Structure 1
């Protein structure tokens, strides 16, 4: 091996793709393993309280640790814990698309606000910046409290049903042993609930198909033109599987991969041809999860607007929350929220748009 080969360090996306290909061949990738309700928790940082997202969440899950808690060396020290000597960290990357600067007037002097402090403003960076960090799993750290297992929510099925209903997706229970989404008719087809072994299994399948439903041009507008067995089809299934894992964990309904084993070879080929595809797939999966779960939040906002005749509470769009408060008539508030709902896909896409540009470089 030459000195140049020895010094070469694979980019983050190649490391992720290589490990995923290895796990796909073994059948141990996160979305290839069945997860019982309550037995999976997505990677999160117990110090910052944030959940890791996109490719970072998927990458950390691929490390096959039993504990979902991850943090930096300094963060561990900040809470009185200590990474054990000799432990190796796991690389993650995150993007910065904006930065906060002091606002200045035409003469270049800082603008002072009514509170006497310098006014700050957030500006979009001309070119996104990527930052790397090394994080350690709780299993590599001494001095942490014992992990508390989160029991399945008692209302997880009720919540899943509300999400399906709030989405307003056209769902027909007209199949014997198939479940699929038809882009041409914009319709989800499922077997009847009684044909599934458990309620968890039914909702996992239904929400998987709802993930495909988000790809319609009027929503997240993904390429759904691929026929079964094609590369485009495999890419869409990869996104749906990763998002299913995320949604299943969020709702506590588990994850059943048995229906999608046929795509393994196609996924391996896609990743071998273009390792960056895993970053795009994880990013899109995060957008799918956000869109699916947002239907529940939007429905709650609309109901509150009608019942209380006050500003609806919507975590989907803070601007909508403020503006809806100006409507005195609940019906007007409902129509306004409906307009926001129609355009939610554009918001979600905007959230991930800059990453697409950077990934294509």
Structure 2
């Protein structure tokens, strides 16, 4: 158990080191002009949860552009060779082991199953640390979608498919109204460009997944409390995960007070970042399952 706890602390400290330096790992790929794309396993399956954060921050720090990561053994099996001196990156595997409950000999009833959760670490290398792989592994993902100066009908159609209500008024704020279960947005022209409008909409859509009729998250009651801080991270990271799949660049509000509050939460709870990453992954899964991917705007206009 102590090994698992130490791993929680190690992952949390990795995130804390970046936050305390003023770098938010789930914001940086876009702020640095990077390409929004989820990191991939060698199988082509996307990483999930906190591993997305850990690998994004390493990709930004090293300037990696391709998406795929693999173990040393996987690289060797594919005919590749990790370059001498290259450092691996730690990722984690979450799982559970179920022990079936015993049957009571007298009553014939079965006791409840025992569920033990575990977390294990393993190390991977980015393909740009490896020579000799097939050229397809080194390809950079498609750049972010260009929206011009207006809201994109494909994004609005995507939101409509999720079933989340949207209202637009002259009020100059974007927010999710949990009491009415409605996303409020100012007119699209208030954002200056279509990407700003689309990215903000994704953030508010991620908040909306927490409603009691959807994923039932605790939203918090005041700025700075643990639930409030966690919900903001869920919305930021969730919108980044969704944006990476839709090709939409999320927009983040640089807020020093928010970063200080979130850093305080992490210092007091080594598992907070895992919970936030898991909730963000669930929010992303919910939105993509219902909204799907973006349609070609040319088809919508025809």
In the superposition, the TM-score normalised over structure 2's length comes to 0.79
Q: Does the alignment pair 1:150 with 2:142?
A: yes
Match of 1:43 in 2: 39
* 2:94–2:118 contact (8 Å) kept in structure 1: yes
Listed as ranges, the matches of 1:1-361 within 5 Å are 11-33=6-28, 35=30, 39-45=35-41, 47-63=42-58, 64-65=61-62, 66-67=64-65, 68-97=67-96, 126-144=115-133, 145=135, 146-152=138-144, 157-258=152-253, 260-297=255-292
CA separation of 1:9/1:142 partners in 2, compared to 1, >3 Å: closer, same or farther?
farther
Q: Provide the C-alpha distance between the structure 2 equivalents of 1:77 and 1:137, rounded to a whole number of angstroms.
A: 13
1:178-215 Cα distance to aligned partner (Å, 9 max, x none) = 21112222222111111112111111111111111111
* 1:143 CA displacement: 1.7
* 1:10 CA displacement: 7.7
Q: Provide the C-alpha distance between the structure 2 equivalents of 1:185 and 1:236, rounded to a whole number of angstroms.
A: 18
Q: Secondary structure at the match of 1:294?
A: helix
* 1:238 CA displacement: 0.9
CA separation of 1:176/1:262 partners in 2, compared to 1, >3 Å: closer, same or farther?
farther
CA separation of 1:261/1:182 partners in 2, compared to 1, >3 Å: closer, same or farther?
farther
Q: For structure 1, which runs of at least 5 residues remain unmatched after alignment?
A: 1-7, 100-123, 301-361
CA separation of 1:153/1:205 partners in 2, compared to 1, >3 Å: closer, same or farther?
closer
CA RMSD of aligned residues (A): 2.8
Compare CA radii of gyration and give the structure with the larger one: 1
1:120-171 Cα distance to aligned partner (Å, 9 max, x none) = xxxx984244433210112321123232342445799444222211122222
1:221-275 Cα distance to aligned partner (Å, 9 max, x none) = 0002422333321110011111111111111111222355541111100100102
